[in-house]
């Protein structure tokens, strides 16, 4: 009996979005009879190097304008400093990936993290196809390297960005996949009953990525004091979770959460989703929820935010709590959009399946 084909997926632990995309690819591959394994590129760098890399990234985000400068002047054009950083990471990743590939013998490697892209392409004696999957609207230079067989992107704008660096690139545009519970979310009334939100009250879901970027605690308190119920999610930010829970003791309309897998229910209960630009936007659109975008993610986040505004049914605010409250109250008075085309899994599965078939892996 012929063994099942195998895929290796290389993710990265800077934020949760990379893991969500890796999981979607793995789920679809398994449904098609493949076996899969997902690895974390940051962990493959080694404990000290991986931790140092995350610390540098967080520090750049904390300094106003620092990551903007690095992204737009170094990552996007592929300046020398960006290429040197990529080479340093690649020197550590290639030996680890070579060992994994030798043991697992995959027919497909999918990179959903930019740091992995060049390392996979430098592996000798490749007996596999290499896909790069990026959901950013403008993939930067390190995403787009020679040796990649197929680029998976989620917009025509992103396809143009890939061709900036590789005019001959093979590209598939497909809908962003969702976590499985978002394809069958609870009904609004059931979600509100579960969360203790009255059916006739305005309700806002407030979150800003797994790191809880921006003044979420102050915004949550101000927004709840203005009238609507606020479902505030801290993600992995323990200090933010502590502040939200303390504030909820004084404000009954504030409902605090730490890291939670109940986001589909929280989103189903809400009339408006206030969040930073990222994959949460696709989830909100699939459920037919209006967006208020916080301009808190530098670099690629600026591009992604502009694209979300272009798609419609979205507004933008700075991270100042007063401005967020003002914009949120106005957005609550606007009609909700219909669910997006990504609300069902078939479009993603067809797109990913056709990509496999194009590369002779169907």
Name the band, by pLDDT with cuts 50, 70 and 90, for residue 266.
very high
Phi, psi of 214 (to 5 degrees): 90, 175
Summarize pLDDT for 151-175 with one digit per residue, the tens.
999 999 999 999 999 999 999 999 9
Tokens, residue 13 = 């632990």
Where do the domains of the chain lie, and which CATH numbers do they carry? 6-177+345-358 (3.40.50.2000), 180-343 (3.40.50.2000)
Q: Are 188 and 289 in contact (CB under 8 A)?
A: no
- Indicate the average pLDDT of the chain: 91
Q: What is the pLDDT of residues 279-331, one digit of tens each?
A: 899 999 999 999 999 998 889 999 999 999 999 999 999 989 999 999 999 99
19-28, 201-210, 301-310, 341-350 — which is least confidently predicted? 341-350
> Can you read off the two tokens belonging to residue 128?
């596999």
Q: What pLDDT digit, counting tens, does each position of 229-248 carry?
A: 999 999 889 999 999 999 99
What pLDDT sits at residue 15? 63
Q: Give the pLDDT confidence score for residue 214 in this predicted structure.
A: 80
Q: Tell me which of 13 and 123 has the higher pLDDT.
A: 123
| Residue burial 321-357, b: 16+ Cβ < 10 Å; e: rest | beebbebbbebbeeeebeebebbebebbbebbbebbe
Prediction pTM value: 0.91
């Amino acid at each position: 009996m012929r063994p099942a084909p195998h895929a290796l997926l290389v993710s990265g632990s800077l934020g949760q979005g990379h893991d969500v995309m890796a999981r979607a690819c793995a789920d679809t591959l398994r449904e098609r009879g493949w076996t899969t394994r997902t690895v974390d590129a940051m962990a493959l760098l080694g404990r000290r190097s991986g931790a140092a890399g995350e610390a540098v990234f967080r520090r750049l985000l904390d300094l106003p304008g620092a990551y903007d400068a690095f992204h737009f002047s170094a990552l996007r054009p592929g300046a020398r400093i960006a290429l040197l950083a990529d080479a340093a990471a690649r020197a550590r990743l290639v030996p680890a990936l070579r060992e994994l590939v030798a043991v697992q013998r995959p027919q497909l490697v999918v990179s959903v993290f930019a740091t992995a892209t060049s390392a996979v392409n430098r592996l000798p004696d490749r007996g596999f196809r290499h896909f790069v999957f990026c959901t950013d609207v403008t993939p930067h230079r390190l995403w787009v390297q020679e040796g990649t067989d197929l680029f998976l992107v989620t917009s025509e704008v992103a396809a143009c960005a890939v061709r900036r660096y590789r005019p001959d690139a093979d590209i598939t545009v497909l809908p962003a996949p969702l976590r499985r519970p978002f394809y069958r979310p609870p009904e609004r009334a059931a979600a509100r009953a579960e969360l203790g939100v009255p059916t006739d009250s305005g309700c806002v879901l407030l979150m800003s990525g797994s790191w809880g970027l921006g003044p979420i605690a102050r915004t949550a308190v101000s927004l709840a004091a203005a009238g609507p119920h606020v479902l505030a999610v801290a993600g992995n930010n323990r200090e933010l979770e502590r502040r939200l829970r303390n504030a909820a003791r004084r404000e009954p309309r504030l409902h605090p959460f730490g890291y939670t897998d109940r986001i589909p229910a929280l989103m189903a209960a809400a009339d408006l989703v206030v969040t930073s630009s990222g994959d949460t936007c696709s989830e909100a659109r699939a459920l037919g929820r209006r967006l208020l975008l916080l301009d808190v993610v530098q670099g690629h986040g600026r591009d992604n935010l502009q694209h979300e505004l272009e798609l419609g049914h979205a507004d933008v605010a700075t991270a100042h709590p007063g401005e967020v409250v003002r914009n949120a109250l106005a957005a609550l008075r606007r009609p909700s959009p219909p669910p997006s085309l990504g609300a069902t899994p078939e479009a993603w599965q067809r797109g990913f399946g056709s990509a496999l078939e194009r590369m002779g892996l169907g």
